[in-house]
Structure 1
């Protein structure tokens, strides 16, 4: 049902008539105000990486809240400003909840009216006070609240918080296979510069050095293992990880199947109790949380047993990234079980298996269609009531084709930022597309750090300390000692 704003026309307006509204200050408010006003003062604009001191809200943003109450509530639709006087008593920080109150204190010749304006914080302390003179509406009006177009702020780094966490760990000794093109070597240099990885460059040494010269990079600080053949380079990387000489493997300019064939080779000793699966972590502009999608790159047509491992792997990575109890939506084309659609049967089975403790750490529901998995209103419209519907943080797709199309649509149509990791092996495998840029590779190294910490300790980085045995995988500081 559409909301209606009714006004108080001038003739019905009385001294003492008042209106009020609540508003919480968010980073998005400050960014949008910067766009609209052109005020780019660094003291009032949130930094992209959340570095430096927290910004304060521009005082005129606080003042603009008064106009919303005058125009929506009292006197309401049809009101036009004549003047506004303001005095600001203190600054407002992100996250503060404000109450805006306007009270009529006088009427002049029609249609002029004078209002006392006041903004207070949650404790009632004054933030801003002033006087407004307006032209009140002449006639009664009930105006439907317009459905404004949604605005998405796509430029902010969705991995900034996770990157800051990952920087607190020692760099992972990472075997990088064939980093001989600009994107793969550039990603390695960026991640090494952030202190996330200590790379061992394995591949055609001449090609790697040539690419380094093109990038203007000094590679002398990195160990370089000359193995010109990509298959053999992948073999060397997997062997190093199996011996505990590397804590992660990273794909460079090499085909995924070549690299993964060596990772799953029995002799490498990297296979764990579960099937390997790939997880995309997407920063989607329209969502306020990361979206985990699996499997979109590794398992082509997984059966139910494979989907159990895929789901558990994705839950573990979500927990490693700080999602306390991930909400998992198992996707299908419809949200009802249809025996003619095997994906719906698998989804229902996964949901029941999670209820019985066969999948742990998350809340699993399915089948869910894409709309009612991530949109609360779509779930409500279809009468779906669950802890997951409309709020899914992890999406399990029915097959690789569906997942790959979903991830790429989010990236190239919705402006999402993506990182990817293969989990299920005894070390994280940083697996990106050869077309991915350096930032995607950096974010994937962040995931490797967080997952490695979770695998070692059983908890997310930054969570309460719980003693746990530490496997004999080598970090850079450990190797140096």
Structure 2
């Protein structure tokens, strides 16, 4: 079984910071409510429970959870809960958003709404922060959940969001591998051309804060021996901590392969909106849910520091 060493480090780091006010949208089943309460007990988040008050209290009773100390904002149904949770963020009452027992599409529709949503100049993207057994650092995989067939322009934002995430998690260096099926540029394989373009864009300062290399196949992105056999000499090859996939299908298969064949855990976060968004699945373990909250807490604090520097 996974030892969770990488997640434990993230949790330890996040627990040194104040709990982040978090609007939890529609936590109306035991699993989603437990995730929020557990994270609150660890001091990661300060939840505001948004949804039908009766259903939230019934879930608490069913799960034997004490929610007396948490604010409940009553909303009649899941759509309204998503809208209300987003409103709390816009009003500055919450610095983080967390998915409860509603469909991801419902929550994201409220987030990307042109009127009253949480859009920024960045493209919204999803990152898995994978804790892979026997791998020294967390592996960030993007995008495996939001952007189905990202354009080159979309990938600029996907890469930048992932680089910023690495820095928020305390990583000194974001080593970004742009993945394809091969490590040479092939005009017949679009992902290799886009990988080369992204690397040149980083050279020109259009992407900042990370070291990019690509195209790279998965083996020579994360395994030094494989990189040496292919004679790839770069600071990223064999040492990548960010894996940018060509499209959602590739990312989904990569993340699930690691989860089900290598016993990795996959904490999930959505970036590019005004606040980090915690997306958990009903199948997630307690540790994965807590890790997702820890990641969001670290991102929220990094965002707060960046805003305060900008004001100065």
Superposition TM-score tier, normalisation by shorter sequence: over 0.9
| Distance in 2 of aligned mates of 1:260 and 1:372 | 35
Map of 1:416 onto structure 2: 264
Q: Which runs of 5+ in 2 are unaligned?
A: none
| Alpha-carbon separation, structure 2, partners of 1:207 and 1:437 | 23
Structure 1 residue 331 and structure 2 residue 164: aligned?
no
Q: Which of 48, 59, 62 is residue 214 of structure 1 equivalent to?
A: 62
Q: CA RMSD in A?
A: 1.6
Q: How is 1:94-113 mapped onto 2 (pairs within 5 angstroms)?
A: none
Tell me how many residue pairs correspond in the alignment. 312
State the SS of the aligned residue for 1:338: coil
Q: 1:232 aligned to 51, 67, 80, which one? A: 80
How far, CA to CA, are the matches of 1:291 and 1:331 in structure 2?
Answer: 13
Rounded to whole Å, the distance in 1 between the matches of 2:249 and 2:117 is 30
Residue from 444, 451, 468 that aligns with 2:309: 468
* Of 219-228 and 284-293, the range deviating more from structure 2: 219-228
Q: 1:202 to 1:313 in 2, by over 3 A?
A: same
Normalising by the residue count of structure 1, what TM-score does the alignment of the two structures yield?
Answer: 0.63
- Stretches of structure 1 that go unaligned for 5 or more consecutive residues are 1-152, 460-466, 472-481
Contact 2:176 2:241 in 1 (8 A): yes
Q: Does 1:281 align with 2:122?
A: no
Per-residue deviation at 1:171? 1.1
Structure showing greater Rg: 1
Q: Which residue of 1 aligns with 2:283?
A: 435
Structure 1 residues 285-332: Cα deviation after superposition (integer angstroms, max 9, x where no partner): 131111000001100000000000000000000111111121000000
8 Å CA contact 2:4, 2:131 repeated in 1: no
Partners in 1 of 2:106 and 2:94 — Cα distance? Answer: 19
What is aligned with 2:294?
A: 446
Relative CO higher for 1 or 2, CA cutoff 8 Å, sep ≥ 6?
2
The corresponding residue for 1:189 is 37
What per-residue deviation string (whole Å, max 9, x for no partner) do you get for residues 1-43 of structure 1?
Answer: xxxxxxxxxxxxxxxxxxxxxxxxxxxxxxxxxxxxxxxxxxx
Residues 306 and 156 of structure 1: CA distance in aligned 2, closer, same or farther (over 3 Å): closer
Report the equivalent of 1:63.
none
**Counterparts of residues 308-457 of structure 1 (less than 5 Å):** 308-457=156-305
Secondary structure at the aligned position of 2:309 is classed as coil
Cα distance in 2, alignment partners of residues 437 and 226 from structure 1 = 28
TM-score by length of 2: 0.96
Q: In structure 2, the residue corresponding to 1:468 is in which secondary structure?
A: helix
